[in-house]
Amino acid sequence: MGHPGRFAVMSVLLLAATLVRPAENSSLPVATANDNRTAAGKINNKKFELHLEIREATWYPEDEGGGHRDVYAFAEAGHQPQISGPLIRVPEGTEIQAFLRNVLPIEVKVYGLHSHPGDAQESVMLAAGETRELKFVAGEAGTYLYWATTSGKPIKDRKGPETTLSGAFVVDPRGTNAHDEVFVVGLWSDAAFSQQIAWINGKSWPFTSHLSFTVGENIRWRVINASFEPHAMHLHGFFFTVAGVGDGEHYQQFSDNQKRQAVTEQIDPGHTFEMTWVPERAGNWLFHCHMLVHMSVPEALHPKEAKPVAHEMEQSGSAGMGGLVIGVTVLPREMSAPTSAVAITTAPRKLQLLISENPDKIPLYQLELNDPTSSAESSKKHAPRLLGPPIVLTRGEQTEIEVKNLTTNPTAIHWHGIELESFYDGVPGWTGSGQQTTPAIAPGASFVARMTPPRAGTFIYHTHWHDDLQLMNGLYGPLIVLEPGQTFDPEHDKVFVFSTGRYAPLGLMMLVNGVPEPDPVELKTGTRYRLRFINITTNESDLRVSFTSDELPVQWKLLARDGADLPQLSRTFSAANLALTVGSTCDVEYQSDREGYAEMQVSARSFEGLIMQPFNFVAGK
């Protein structure tokens, strides 16, 4: 999260801080949500002509008649203002003639309306009431954005009504037909950055677009971060291919041997990425930012609204979420085909995950794994820490995991990164289908999740009951899938789960494997180790992990991200320093040939100082 302590501040907002004048008393035009499917402008004398205005508008992030804000917005002349701004979409090399008119009573600086690749500092200044004409060539194919500021601040520091001044600028390769979805991600904030409303294409969940596709369809999405914070965009149930990335001014389309697979992608302010994927299973799925603050019901619109109870969440389909969330429905090729549970034809492996409660103790929640097939210590009840036991599965093996809720609150478990049927994905009231929707796991009840993991890798299980109390009190753990015939070897396979939790009596802290001060790890020289890193913090999208020996960086080899092997070009030794966004995992190979101490350092902007994980290398045999 870009501003320390914001989550804590948001939780205690006062109603008086969020009052706005009623819409019926406002003379401002209403800004419409832009789904970015229809491009603005027109072709005139073989040139693309565009008339843009910058004006004040009333914006409804949810349904009209609900909470609203008076903001600044782009509009195509003669049309209502839009959030995000009107879509600019042209073939590469197109000559563009743009007319900009500033209707605001203050000065505005506009960025991004020039040839690409371009200079990030290039801008157009418009005084109040001024109109300017711009002529330029669109430039190279890619996904870009245009944006404006009334404060003169960079995109990462904008606040107040200017935070909605952004739009998509897409340049298509010549001779191609656009067949994709364009998502502009934004954050409105008040002047103090103490309140947020997160939106995609002008709306906050559950009022964002609900998209529908068919099994086997080739899907292409362009994601643009026009907000002042990074985001960790996560797709449920499927891997996607990262096809290209950009910084707003430059764009790199990946070749086949550069493309990588992911389930969560980090996107910084002003940056863009392109993703492709093919849905293989019918049902309801989600695409959302994994930062808790960006997928919560906005308190700026609902300052005194109580958390929804289980049956309300299931009936509304909102699952207690808000903000940066998009619903995706995948239809079967034949409408008569089944859309829910998978038939188990052979005897599956059976596990049981028990969730119990320790009132007034740390951790508040305790997880225990019952595995009749294993006597490993990791499957037994462990010492108190904010972390669940590792669940180790085998690729291709049918598995049933009974989640038994022995607490006094409803819950749900999401199997993050696992490709499984929608009904078992773990979002109450949403995943599954119209015939069979995933229920919340009520106190005293159980839910059996069925899966047959199709790939080996490092994944996560965690609560998807949208309650920060559960996520910050240990309802998560590592989920490791091995190749057939392999067994998990904790001597050479080391798992590190990074999280945030309320660790009494110290309060909210960043943790490694459930504790703020991890014990030293003893390793042997000349031995290769697989280190599995997992970020399941609430909002630490900018978490960094580095490794040093004698205060100097060491080398390690990146192996996989999100459970998917990296392209061969990327599987090389490099300095042991990596970024790990929320909801992502990374596997590396590490070996030391000399005795002595090494140290892993974990840092995040929301927490002062570093967490130090000491390693002691002794002579190997």
Q: What pLDDT does residue 502 have?
A: 82
- Which residues partner with 240 through β-bridges? 262
Paired sense of beta strands 272-277 and 219-225, if any: antiparallel
Q: What are phi and psi of 164, to 5 degrees?
A: -100, 10
- Nearest-angstrom CA–CA distance, 404 and 419: 22
- Nearest-angstrom CA–CA distance, 153 and 189: 14
Apex CA 345: angle with CA 339 and CA 349, to 5°? 100
Domain 6-331 CATH assignment equals 2.60.40.420: yes
Q: What sign has the CA pseudo-torsion 254, 259, 264, 266?
A: negative
Which residue in 378, 383, 379, 350 sits closest to 366, CA to CA? 383
> What's 6's DSSP letter?
H
> What's 465's DSSP letter?
S
The CB density around residue 69, as the number of other CB atoms within 10 Å, is: 22
Q: Which residue has the tokens 């462990």?
A: 382
Q: What pLDDT does residue 18 have?
A: 35
- Nearest-angstrom CA–CA distance, 586 and 135: 45
CATH of 349-458 among 3.40.50.300, 3.40.50.10490, 3.90.25.10, 2.60.40.420: 2.60.40.420
Residues with Cβ within 8 Å of 359's Cβ and at least 6 positions away in sequence, in order, are: none
Which residue in 131, 57, 122, 120 sits closest to 98, CA to CA? 131
- Residues of the chain with confidence (pLDDT) below 70: 1-26, 304-318, 335-345, 374-384, 621
Residues with Cβ within 8 Å of 152's Cβ and at least 6 positions away in sequence, in order, are: 109
The CB density around residue 78, as the number of other CB atoms within 10 Å, is: 7
Q: What is the pLDDT of residues 176-188, one digit of tens each?
A: 877 899 999 999 9
Q: What is the pLDDT of residues 250-304, one digit of tens each?
A: 999 999 989 999 999 999 999 999 999 999 999 999 999 999 999 998 888 887 6
Contact yes or no for 84/182 (Cβ under 8 A)? no
Residues with Cβ within 8 Å of 552's Cβ and at least 6 positions away in sequence, in order, are: none
Domain ranges for the chain: 6-331, 349-458, 508-618
- Nearest-angstrom CA–CA distance, 94 and 92: 6
Decide: residue 383, CB within 10 A, 0-12 exposed, 13-18 middle, 19+ buried.
exposed
Q: What is the total residue count of the chain?
A: 621
> What's 8's DSSP letter?
H
CATH architecture, range 508-618: Sandwich (2.60)
Give the Å distances, CA to CA, from 217 to 31, 180, 330, 541, 564. 33, 12, 9, 31, 22
Helix (H, G, I), strand (E, B) or coil at 200: strand
